Amino acid sequence: MRLEAVELLRLRLPLVAPFRTSLGTETHRDVLLVHVIGPDADGWGECVAFAEPFYSSEYVGGAHDVIREHLFPRLFACDEVAAADVVALLGPVRGHPMAKASVEMAILDAELRSSGTPLGAFLGAVRQEVDCGVSVGIHDDVGELLATVESYLAEGYRRIKLKIEPGSDIEPVHAVRNRFTGIPLQVDANASYTRESAGGLAALDDFDLLLLEQPLAEEDLLGHAQLAKAVRTPICLDESITSARAAADAIALGACSIVNIKAGRVGGLLEARRIHDLCLAEGVPVWCGGMLETGLGRAANVALAALPGFTLPGDTSASGRYYDADITDPFVLEGGRLPVPTGPGLGVTPLPEQLERFTVGMETLYPKLG
């Protein structure tokens, strides 16, 4: 497409309830949207970076800056920009995968809208709906945790994920498994353990968990490989999987037997598909992680999760899990599943009244003349 203008919108959306992990507590989401405008189509992208750099080195203010100062100037210099070329064009800018992913997503959305192609069909989706799991934050009170899990099961979620950290792991997991004996259950440590503190994680083997997600630091593939030999619970990697090459290395080292794919973390939907294809060829199950996305990012996640290698329920919760009011038509759980959008591109667009309600800032970028 030919870029005529780009809008960068900053939104602030309150969460329905505080969401606590070992990384911190979120009470609202600061959102950066990328809106690309061309002569024949426009497209939307969502940056999944959080307000502070606690999940990764990226944060929403920094992503805004790098998109404005370094990414779009390179794309504006091209007569035409294709989503397939974004990675190479932005290659001179080191890092910033979440920022780059939002740019690629917007351009891909515009391309697919122009051709009338749904994102799921483009990626290779084989399902019309996807099984949904839900991520449950850390609770100080076990009784409250049990009530929260019960409420999500009543809504129809097909898998529960519990956030854990040192000092809040064995007891809450035991309580949930004891109360809800047959549910698919997994845990996520968000890299909060060290090799020295991970010895007690073998106690989780008693609870028949689907997986133990990212117990150690992002760069510690060797530590994960060692831990995988010491526990029976399958190790899944999240933060460590930054590309298809990183996924191949982790699998070869025995650092994981399951992979969490987040398009924003790996630099875009096209790299996410490459990771999926690699894992499918290696017989490694994958599932789709979530980053508290609005309906735009959720639409992309659901389309991605409909690919054949996504055999475990993802964190593709309904809109109401996080927001009383989304910026698109809400995704509503039906029978524990969400439908894959069938419209062109992402299949959803922001509602003007909701954009106006939640937008706290906007700037428009234009190509330089001459």
The 10s digit of each residue's pLDDT in 77-133 is: 999 999 999 999 999 999 999 999 999 999 999 999 999 999 999 999 999 999 999
Structure tokens given for 170: 């064995």
Which residues are known to be catalytic? Answer: 163, 262
pTM value surpassing 0.85: yes
How many CB atoms lie under 10 A from the CB of residue 362? Answer: 13
Domains in the chain, CATH or no CATH each? 5-116+351-365 (3.30.390.10), 120-339 (3.20.20.120)
Distances 301 to 48, 73, 138, 200, 307 between C-alpha atoms, Å: 12, 28, 24, 33, 11
pLDDT at res. 18? 80
Q: What confidence tier does 25 reach under pLDDT thresholds 50, 70, 90?
A: confident
Q: Is pLDDT at 153 greater than 70 in this prediction?
A: yes
Q: What confidence tier does 21 reach under pLDDT thresholds 50, 70, 90?
A: confident
Q: Is pLDDT at 370 greater than 70 in this prediction?
A: no
Mean pLDDT score, 166-193: 96
Structure tokens given for 219: 């760069």
Structure tokens given for 227: 């831990």
Q: Is pLDDT at 301 greater than 60 in this prediction?
A: yes
How many CB atoms lie under 10 A from the CB of residue 358? Answer: 22
Whether residue 326 contacts residue 355, with contact meaning beta carbons closer than 8 Å, is answered with no
Mean pLDDT score, 228-238: 97
- H or E element that contains 155: helix 142-155
Q: How far is CA 64 from the centre of its chain?
A: 18
Distances 282 to 229, 263, 340 between C-alpha atoms, Å: 19, 20, 26
